[in-house]
Structure 1
């Protein structure tokens, strides 16, 4: 068992735990190596709720939470936070310490005693880096460790220095000047709102909440398609990018996960925005419009959503797991919170059943797999990503991407209430 102490060996084993029975697995294998049985020794019971079955599967695949997203070395990586949010809620529900230990070990590994964060570089002003701050907010409230407070203050300082558009919208990253991406709303605003609720006082609080609402206002003003109600992946205020429309600055397509991020951003920010804040009315109206738009492009047969939302019948487009999980989570949480009428539950339920029927496989050890996940997609960069239809449908597809398993766990928890 000494090999388990070696992180690289653990990672190699974890990466092999994709179901051999999944027709969607990136590199399916007919047999497990002998040592795999040591990692998946205990079978995951089918009697457990789906939320726990998926989280336990993730913990088997990735014994250290920093390994989520298939990282080979400790990395401050936004997808980890989504799975750990599910772990937080499952721990609060069950009291089972193994879930808490999975979270706290991540914090201890990633934050040094001086409060510095492994692999984090403030100078890059990358909104993606804020999302894991939610894990530290949870751990700080539980443990009150000084190193978490220092790390949180560093992350909060990034918001103060984040480059902005002329209307105050955050650039997605410093290396993507003048650009707002839907992804960034989820990466930045729930953490910003959560931090503000817990730490801020007086006029600073009001200023911060107004700033958060403004991020959504700028997105709604520039990225929404008035004909369909869908939102484009990104907007370049300067119109300089090759992917940007020279008149509008918009990217050319409606990417499923980009819209998924946006919906989750709205419902999660509402958790922290005061009931009497006037911005709530705006966010609720944006949420209603958003859900009405995604319902129109929901696949009638399966209840799922396509990688490129409005081009379901076109060649190589496919029913994608991460966006579908995010849409289901956004809608069922909205119904449970009273943000939407109960009539929306039927659409969420249809999507949930579609995921279970079409995208979930379970192997002989009880390991649950979520298949047909788009691994990554973006715009610009090197090699250059054009945002074309062909670009989105040809990006890597893999199983058990945390950008899908995390929202799936959260959606399951909402259905299990």
Structure 2
């Protein structure tokens, strides 16, 4: 446990807002970080650490980091709402918390800046947000996590819950269309136009169950539930039932190590591997789900086993410093054409160390263990 806290503090000490050490994607591209979901995940995890430990270092870093991106008028550097990329909404979640903690008016204004994108995000014929303008008519599980918790918190705090029904409908569509009736798992993507090269021309669905996408969906449900008014009983019941169902399905695929495979239901296939980021999300989802009362107490053991399994397998010392390995750098559908949703594609993406998509969920799972 102390090892993990030491590891996180090492990462903070090596990072600046202009060059966060955990944003391997940007570092490999040689680009300065823009407003992005990866840093949003990490800052969210640091704010959770602050909430539990009251360690000022976590809050100070989070505040400096987001303040670097947000101007006094609430505009955000390197963020164009007209890019219509739902990923960019995710980092907006931390603005609510930082506004409450610091009282900085620019954070309140920036919340409205991000909400402007929500208002104009294009939709599929079923009513779901497109994943990105460059991926027309496509819904990815990832996008529910990127957009819905922010949308729900805004509606709850600043818009009299006017669009609750829209949020419930978007989740209902995903359950109806993307859930596999045999396994209870969800396919990574759906193209309502049936035009994408990766989709089944009859169903519009992609071919496989990618672990981290399932994880994003789990977190989308939990974090949206956490931010809504639970007296809206029908919607609350709908989302909590979706959450229970997906967790019941995912537990069946947990490896004896405690982790899950990159392509969830094909653990015995050559090339498949136990993946850190999705396993950490599941650990967090289970532990938080138990704490919030959505899962029975006996599920806690699955979450703790997952957390321990990741630390045992992938948290190690290298050249005198701690490292977290086994993290799939990125996976998507569509451009470039190699992203075809096949098993071979998912196992071909680079596996890296110390990347926020693995570090942040493990830290979130750790905060759930600290709460105990």
Please report the TM-score for the alignment, with normalisation by the length of structure 2.
Answer: 0.94
Task: Tell me, yes or no, if structure 1 residue 248 matches structure 2 residue 207.
Answer: no
Task: Tell me, yes or no, if structure 1 residue 113 matches structure 2 residue 72.
Answer: yes
Q: Which runs of 4+ in 1 moved over 6 A?
A: none
Whole-Å Cα distance in 2 between the matches of residues 49 and 190 of structure 1? 31
- Which structure has the higher relative contact order (CA within 8 Å, separation 6+)? 1
Equivalent pair of 2:18/2:33 in contact (CA under 8 Å): no
2:340 equivalent in structure 1:
386
Pick closer, same or farther for the CA change 1:265–1:66 going to 2, 3 Å: farther
1:409 equivalent in structure 2:
363
Pick closer, same or farther for the CA change 1:49–1:335 going to 2, 3 Å: farther
- Which residue of the other structure, out of 265, 274, 286, is the alignment partner of 1:331? 286
Equivalent pair of 1:65/1:103 in contact (CA under 8 Å): no
- Which residue of the other structure, out of 141, 145, 169, is the alignment partner of 2:100? 141
Higher alpha-carbon Rg: 1
Show CA shifts across 1:170-204 (max 9, x none): 11111111110000000001111122222222xxx
Whole-Å Cα distance in 2 between the matches of residues 65 and 407 of structure 1? 22
Show CA shifts across 1:266-302 (max 9, x none): 11111111121121111111111101111111112x1
Equivalent pair of 2:152/2:167 in contact (CA under 8 Å): yes
> What displacement does 1:210 show?
1.5
Whole-Å Cα distance in 2 between the matches of residues 102 and 143 of structure 1? 13
> What displacement does 1:65 show?
7.3
Whole-Å Cα distance in 1 between the matches of residues 189 and 62 of structure 2? 32
Whole-Å Cα distance in 1 between the matches of residues 286 and 105 of structure 2? 37
Whole-Å Cα distance in 2 between the matches of residues 391 and 61 of structure 1? 33
SS class of match (2:323):
strand
Whole-Å Cα distance in 1 between the matches of residues 43 and 355 of structure 2? 14
> What displacement does 1:234 show?
0.4
Segments of structure 1 that go 5 or more residues without pairing to the other structure are 1-46
1:60 equivalent in structure 2:
13
- For 1:205-224, list aligned pairs within 5 A: 205=161, 207-224=162-179
- For 1:205-284, list aligned pairs within 5 A: 205=161, 207-277=162-232, 278-284=234-240
Whole-Å Cα distance in 1 between the matches of residues 221 and 295 of structure 2? 13
2:304 equivalent in structure 1:
349
> What displacement does 1:363 show?
4.5
> What displacement does 1:53 show?
2.9
Q: Between Structure 1 and Structure 2, how many residues are aligned?
A: 364
Equivalent pair of 2:19/2:33 in contact (CA under 8 Å): yes
1:13 equivalent in structure 2:
none
Equivalent pair of 1:181/1:235 in contact (CA under 8 Å): yes
Segments of structure 2 that go 5 or more residues without pairing to the other structure are none
- Which residue of the other structure, out of 134, 138, 147, is the alignment partner of 1:175? 134
1:361 equivalent in structure 2:
316
